[in-house]
Amino acid sequence: METKENQILKKIQSTFILYSNGADNIRKRDAFKLFFEMKIIDVNEFNIFLLNYHLAKSSNQRKCSFEYFLKLILFIYSIQKNKDIEFQYDFNLPTLPEKDEITKSNNIINVLVNLNDYIEVCFPNFDEKLIKRALNSEIFEYLNDFSENLYKIFNENANKSNNYLHYININKLIPLFFELPIYSNINSKDIAQIVSNFICPWKVKVDTSFIKIFDELLSKNNPNFIENEFSLLGIDSNNLNFTFSSFVLLLICFGLHYNKNEATSDLNATEYFIESILELKKNTTEVKFETIDKTESIIEEEETFPESANIKEAFRMIDNPNKDDFSFLQETLYVLDRELLVLEDENENIVYPLEKLSIEVEEEEKRKTDEKEAKIIKLARKPPKRPNDRNAKPPRPHYFEDKPDPDKTNLKYFGYKTIENFTNRLMKQSINDILPNSKVYPSLLKDVLLIPKSIPAEVIKQLIRLNRH
Amino acid sequence: MCDGLYESAINKVERAKYEYNLYKFNDIQFHVYVFILLGNLYENLGCNLMALNYYMQCRQLTNKFEYTNPDAALCYTNIASIFMSWKEYKWALRCFIKARDIKEYIIGGDCVDTASTYNNIGVVCFYLGDFYGAYGYFKLSYEIFNNIVGYNNYF
């Protein structure tokens, strides 16, 4: 009796055979189609990047074998369900099944991946030349400065799903073309031709019936005009949803329309389209706060992570005289001893100057104490002042306005030092004032870690390269 | 970390390291910073052996730089701070001298990072009893800071 796991394996094999036409390898674009058409994963920038990254790791970058194909499915399934799957399988060679089994396998894989609240999203045809030109790293770097305004336009007309997927329906996207000054610069025929490449997997001929949808005058009077026209073509317009990445690619293709003959550079064409026609502005802090939703403005509570095992070991190792910890220390010291310089024992010279210094310090202290005592003795020998003596000074006269004595005012702030003098003297004399008067020992200075906040350029280049393929 | 919540900080750093490893970018410097961060956190908690473990792992990575990146000296300075807490001043001195050689070769003797190592060598000499050496290193670092940072500086 076959187990469930073997049944699942056979079904995956059959779909693999369908798309490979009996061969042992699948082309990368066929793998993409399989994952998106069979509704195994959502069409996201993140998922496209993941697939590209993992497919690029295989030995043959343009094709993938059945083993690698299987690993991808299990990896994707584990991400969506947040589980770690462990199948025990045997890699048997695939065999050609009958037609009935193929239809069964297609339906069962949909059951395997029970995606609730799945939203059908369309993706662009990456085989087109225009879209290959649009996937340019220079253009993406240029558009980073306008990302917030673009996202603002997208977010005003977008919907959200429970999986945090933002998408625009075509019923709202076409009226958006009327609001933005695109129709005044591009024909409806060219717009229809470009949009037809972004509706994969559905395929449409660019006929008069399809071009009629993009007519401004007809759609203004009828609110359900677009849905009705698509239903006549046999397509449900509620299934035509665009993500932010496809939206941006669409705008880039409109920009490249001005460079049909490829006379100037693509970058200049996009700059002309974005700055002069759409009149978008670069990112500013004001736009950032407008795009933030109210939910994001709330302070998030700190997530409580489980305690790591390393911390428990660390506390165990503090005062533990176990052999395991001591052996680790011995090994590290043995390793360091080989690298570091060896100090020579020259302690005899160190002791000698120490004795001299101690003697000099004592002599200075003795002098100071003797001077103080001499002053006290002199003052003690003088007779006290009497008011009737001739040698006594007369008292100070009393004025109508009491002038402040400068001596007394200076005594308010740190003795004889005022604030004005304090700032000038603090940095110069503070070290000399402090060290001999107090027991301050020198302290170590820790090296500062300067961690960059931005991603390095090499990582960005890798990401762009992977997204191209 | 400033609030004293070392355990939560350690958990977050370990999680960041785990998520970074999912993408498997070959960026050595990220792992260097992570190991040093974790080592500093454990050192502030008092778990010196655990910190030493992370610093030695960092040393294995920085040995690949081979005198091309000044971050190679970070692990040696942090190991020396552990020895200072254990009152092993000779081991600390040897580590600081190694860090000094690396920085002088790469950056030069006129920078703030080298001045901090001179200060630390002076501290170790003070505790060992070599006051003349300590005085020389302190004066050297003081004048470098004055020339670069200014007169009204914290150091």
pLDDT tens, residue order, chain A (469 aa): 455 556 666 667 777 777 777 677 777 767 776 776 655 555 555 566 666 666 665 555 567 777 777 767 666 655 554 444 444 444 343 333 444 444 444 444 444 444 344 556 777 777 788 888 888 778 887 887 888 788 888 888 887 665 556 788 888 888 888 888 887 788 888 889 899 988 876 788 888 888 888 887 777 777 788 888 888 888 888 878 888 888 888 888 998 888 887 778 888 888 888 888 888 888 765 555 555 555 454 444 544 444 555 555 656 655 555 545 666 777 788 888 888 877 765 443 333 333 333 445 566 777 887 888 788 777 776 655 555 656 666 666 555 445 555 555 544 444 444 444 444 444 444 444 444 444 556 778 877 665 555 555 665 666 566 555 4
Instruction: Tell me the residues of chain B between 72 and 131 that have a Cβ less than 8 Å away from chain A.
Output: 73-74, 77-79, 81, 84, 90-91, 93-95, 97-98, 113, 116, 119-120, 122-123, 126, 128-131
What Cα–Cα distance (Å) separates residue A15 from each residue in A70, A152, B144?
A: 11, 41, 71
Confidence of residue B44 (pLDDT cuts 50, 70, 90): confident
For A309, the token pair is 């095992």
User: What was the pLDDT predicted at B119?
Assistant: 92
Q: What share of chain B is helix, strand, coil (3-state, %, to 5)?
A: 75, 0, 25
Question: Tens digit of pLDDT for each residue in A277-318?
Answer: 888 888 765 555 555 555 454 444 544 444 555 555 656 655
The H-or-E segment that residue B41 falls in is helix B28-45
| Interface TM-score (ipTM) > 0.90 | no
Q: Do A427 and B152 touch (CB under 8 A)?
A: yes
Work out the minimum CA distance from A287 to partner chain B, whole angstroms.
Answer: 29
User: What was the pLDDT predicted at B120?
Assistant: 93
For A418, the token pair is 């005022």
Task: Tally DSSP H helices, then E strands, for chain A.
Answer: 23, 5
Confidence of residue B55 (pLDDT cuts 50, 70, 90): very high
Q: What share of chain A is helix, strand, coil (3-state, %, to 5)?
A: 60, 5, 40
Region class of A39: left (phi > 0), else alpha (psi between -120 and 50), else beta: left
Residue A242 phi, psi (nearest 5): -115, 135
- Give residue A342's identity as a one-letter amino acid code: V
Q: Which member of B50, B79, B132 has the closest CB to residue A314?
A: B50
- With beta carbons less than 8 A apart as the criterion, state whether A449 and B38 touch: no
User: What was the pLDDT predicted at A349?
Assistant: 39
What Cα–Cα distance (Å) separates residue B126 from each residue in A436, B89, B132?
A: 16, 10, 9
State in Å, rounded, how far the first CA of chain A is from the last one: 43
pLDDT at B96 over 90: yes
Rounded distance between C-alpha atoms, residue B91 and residue B108, angstroms: 24
Q: Which member of B37, B52, B97 has the closest CB to residue A341?
A: B97
- Preceding omega of A94 cis (within 30 degrees of 0): no
Rounded distance between C-alpha atoms, residue A113 and residue A39, angstroms: 9
User: What was the pLDDT predicted at B64?
Assistant: 77
Rounded distance between C-alpha atoms, residue A62 and residue A136, angstroms: 20
Q: Which member of B52, B138, B155 has the closest CB to residue A332?
A: B52
What Cα–Cα distance (Å) separates residue A214 from each residue in A129, A147, A180, A247, A458?
A: 23, 26, 14, 17, 42
User: What was the pLDDT predicted at A358?
Assistant: 42
| Over residues B133-152, mean pLDDT | 82
In terms of CA atoms, which chain B residue is nearest residue A316?
B47
In terms of CA atoms, which chain A residue is nearest residue B40?
A446
Highest mean pLDDT among A293-297, B11-15, B121-125: B121-125
In terms of CA atoms, which chain A residue is nearest residue B39?
A314
Contacts of B50 in chain A (CB under 8 A): 310, 313-314, 317
Helix (H, G, I), strand (E, B) or coil at B11: helix
Rounded distance between C-alpha atoms, residue A423 and residue A428, angstroms: 9
Q: Percentage of residues in chain B with pLDDT exceeding 90? A: 19
Confidence of residue B121 (pLDDT cuts 50, 70, 90): very high
Contacts of B84 in chain A (CB under 8 A): 444
Work out the minimum CA distance from B106 to partner chain A, whole angstroms.
Answer: 16
Q: Which member of B7, B12, B151 has the closest CB to residue A311?
A: B7
